[in-house]
Amino acid sequence: MSQYTPLISVIVPSYRHEDFLSQRLNTISQQTYENIEIILLDDASPDNSGNVLNRFASTCEKVVALDINEKNSGLPIHQWVKGLSLARGEYIWIAESDDESEPEFLSELLCLLTRNPSAGMAYCDSQVIDEKGHHIAKYDYTSTQYADDGLWESDFCMHGRDFVVSYMVFRNLIPNVSAVLFRASVLKGFLCESQLKYSADWALYNKILLSHDIAFSCAAMNKFRKHIQTTRWHNKKSYAIELKEKFALLKSLKHDLELDSRAQNNIASSLGFIFENRHKHKKVEALCKSVSQLDKAQIETLYLFGANDIAERVIDTSIAMGITPVVIDSFKAGQICKGLNVSALKRYDLSPSSVVVICSLSHQDAMQTLLEQHEFKGQVLRV
């Protein structure tokens, strides 16, 4: 780039990730871009995370701060705000403590921001990994609510406002904050305390992008770890909180974009979709109850049709019954769903003594039709 190498502040907000923390810190110290400072934070973890951070700080000269809370702050964004107040860099990387990254992550995203001075933030594609660090899948950007036209298949820089209106009003399409490099001046202008538990990052990105462009690298240099603490199926209460936050976020965008007719139409569509699926948790739990009542002695094979969050919840139920299901999804064949290999749908596999659980809300009618075309005569359970 040039002889001048701007300082990047790496903020590591840690909480209860002792099992992943050492590997995360290693992937930070092994970055090919070296002019960094590392700020370590722990939010009163009940495990051994504090000792892991202390050991790393004693051996890594790039650590400039180590702050361990005596009492948990309650929300991750409180740690982001604290880390930003300690940061001196021109760029900020919030490297969550359970994720990993490729060595070239910082150098590549810094180059991307340098080439695109209008961008307030840049992010890269993500691999999804499991508890043991094994690759599960690439992040899935597809949706029935928008047409992406292959947008995420190559690098791009686009107007942030257009990105929000076309995509972010439907879902948070930045896999997690570990995939992002921010300009410090931009982040300091928008990051503030928030009471949002599940959507604080989404709200932050929207605020930034309404006035700054966004750059993207299609290289999957972020490794987003999916494990029990990242799932949203904990209970009915947590699901209700998330729904409430999504409604509030979209209503805020509706106000911010009140003069944009396309934005208003997309927001209305998104609100309608959320409202239509507001009972998803209840429906999926009812589906799991139906699965649990099956006579496993009468089932040759239990198939889960669709590799997604619904399938993950049904996998938990079937494993508890002593049944290891087969996950089928032709579009995601070869990937991993909750530790199970995903296979393509094949007609000859579906014997009449099998049971197929359709794991979808939006596509279940089409999936039912496909099973009929495959002449499946066994039992089908639907959401």
- Same-domain status, 248 and 289: no
- Same-domain status, 15 and 92: yes
Domain end residue (candidates: 276, 299, 332): 276
In a domain, 120, yes or no: yes
Domain ranges, residue 344 = 281-381
Instruction: List the one residue out of 66, 78, 64, 71 whose CA is nearest residue 9.
Output: 64
Instruction: List the one residue out of 154, 148, 187, 155 whose CA is nearest residue 171.
Output: 148
Domain end residue (candidates: 215, 248, 276): 276
In a domain, 1, yes or no: no
Q: Which residues make Cβ contacts (< 8 Å) with residue 212, sequence separation at least 6?
A: 118, 119, 120, 121, 160, 186
Are the CB atoms for 146 and 274 separated by under 8 Å?
Answer: no
- Same-domain status, 188 and 254: no
- Same-domain status, 89 and 226: yes
In a domain, 28, yes or no: yes
Question: Residues of the chain whose pLDDT is less than 70?
Answer: 1-3, 228-234, 348
Please report the pLDDT score of residue 229 as a whole number.
Answer: 57
Instruction: List the one residue out of 121, 318, 311 whose CA is nearest residue 201.
Output: 121
- Same-domain status, 169 and 245: no
If one counts the domains in the chain, the total is 3
For residue 351, what is the domain's CATH number?
Answer: 3.40.50.20
- Same-domain status, 126 and 216: yes
**Whole-model pTM?**
0.89
Instruction: List the one residue out of 111, 109, 89 whose CA is nearest residue 178.
Output: 109
Tens digits of residue pLDDT in 51-72: 999 999 999 999 999 999 999 9
For residue 28, what is the domain's CATH number?
Answer: 3.90.550.10
Which pair of tokens denotes residue 94?
Answer: 């919030």
In a domain, 158, yes or no: yes
Instruction: List the one residue out of 336, 364, 339, 344 whose CA is nearest residue 303.
Output: 344
- Same-domain status, 257 and 315: no
In a domain, 253, yes or no: yes
DSSP character at residue 164: I
Are the CB atoms for 97 and 49 separated by under 8 Å?
Answer: yes
Please report the pLDDT score of residue 1 as a whole number.
Answer: 38
Q: b or e along 127-146 (b: 16 or more beta carbons within 10 Å of the residue's beta carbon)?
A: bbbeeeeeebbebebeeeeb
Tens digits of residue pLDDT in 164-196: 999 999 999 998 999 999 999 999 999 999 999
